[in-house]
Structure 1
């Protein structure tokens, strides 16, 4: 395993995990502007938890969604996926800090540490996939309503919270892939460390046998 690759993978996974925590409470998952005169122009923005409105004077009001069962299915699924992403990232960070070579945690058993680091890479990959599915599904419903000419409700556009989520997913997937590939390469190098077959490695030649061989074959045998 390459320690530099491991450290880079852990840094990417950590940044992705932090950005998930930033994207989840962000209020601007989708935004919509209601144009009017100077007094009536307002901006409506929502996330997974609440809906807010701001008028041209700077006054804003937020209202939390009253009931979980009354929400759309994709909002409930996005909530679950984002929370799952944070949990997976937390376990992935703990496992990565234990499994990387430069860490003193976990002792000197590098085979076990490599397996733990590989598990951390899988957890980072799952974190990125959960985040990617959540924000992409949410964005799909925004664009579907926006381009639907028969939709009579408020049409929203993609907000900054979704872009943060996409960046988080890419970083987590990249970190997980680097960590998993690094551990796989380290395992291959360990397996191929000794090119000799198993039976030849276990053979022991005594000094008497070598003396007998030398007496049997004279110097002329090497000419």
Structure 2
């Protein structure tokens, strides 16, 4: 307790505000949000190693497994966040519509809606990450493209007109009516 005594010898004592004295639903929501943030951090690390554009992570098959793991972790993170926001919103609406509840009543605020939107995006992103490995299961190899070198406009024109010199030929014979000059 903290006690304060004023000049008239009146003493006023208060309990220390502690995190452990919070209501159980607030502690549960706090725990779920901490778990969601932690899972999101580890999901981001796994996603970094599972992306095709990074050199870390091994072969394509190993990267696909890491990407799927990242997707699952993102889904779990979104579910933790969604559960925490929904639990808090349920308690707020229950107290708000209870006519026998006489303490201060709260309403749903922007933080809950942002939490729900973030949780939804996290779940959707995790599902997309899990399905992004589907083209690795294809048995057909990817087509490779070869670079044949640059060709100039002049060499491509003389190539198609029998190798004649460009300056000595009649310009009307080289182009169709739809050719751009």
TM-score range, shorter chain: 0.5 to 0.7
How far apart are residue 151 of structure 1 and its match?
A: 0.6
How far apart are residue 154 of structure 1 and its match?
A: 0.8
Alignment partner of 2:81 out of 117, 126, 131: 131
Largest Rg, 1 or 2:
2
Partner of 1:75: 26
TM-score for the superposition, normalised by structure 2? 0.66
Pair 1:93-2:44 in alignment:
yes
For the residues of structure 1 that align with 2:135 and 2:35, how far apart are their CA atoms?
A: 30
Partner of 1:113: 63
For the residues of structure 2 that align with 1:186 and 1:127, how far apart are their CA atoms?
A: 25
Cα RMSD (Å) of the superposition? 1.6
Gaps of 5+ in 1: 1-64, 195-223
Tell me how many residue pairs correspond in the alignment: 126
How far apart are residue 89 of structure 1 and its match?
A: 0.5
Is the 2:79–2:119 Cα contact (8 Å) retained in structure 1?
yes
Pair 1:143-2:93 in alignment:
yes
Gaps of 5+ in 2: 1-15, 142-181
**Larger relative CO (CA 8 A, sep 6+): 1 or 2?**
1
Partner of 2:108: 158
Which one has the bigger strand percentage?
1
How far apart are residue 68 of structure 1 and its match?
A: 2.6
What stretches of structure 1 move > 2 A for 4+ residues in a row? none
Structure 2 residue matching 1:158: 3-state secondary structure: coil
How far apart are residue 187 of structure 1 and its match?
A: 4.8
How far apart are residue 71 of structure 1 and its match?
A: 1.2
TM-score for the superposition, normalised by structure 1? 0.54
- 1:58-80 deviations in Å (ceiling 9; x for gaps): xxxxxxx9223321111001111
How far apart are residue 160 of structure 1 and its match?
A: 1.3
For the residues of structure 1 that align with 2:57 and 2:66, how far apart are their CA atoms?
A: 9
- 1:100-131 deviations in Å (ceiling 9; x for gaps): 11112224x11101100000000100110000
Partner of 1:186: 135
- 1:29-87 deviations in Å (ceiling 9; x for gaps): xxxxxxxxxxxxxxxxxxxxxxxxxxxxxxxxxxxx92233211110011111111111
For the residues of structure 1 that align with 2:53 and 2:103, how far apart are their CA atoms?
A: 55
For the residues of structure 2 that align with 1:167 and 1:90, how far apart are their CA atoms?
A: 18
Structure 1 residue matching 2:56: 3-state secondary structure: coil
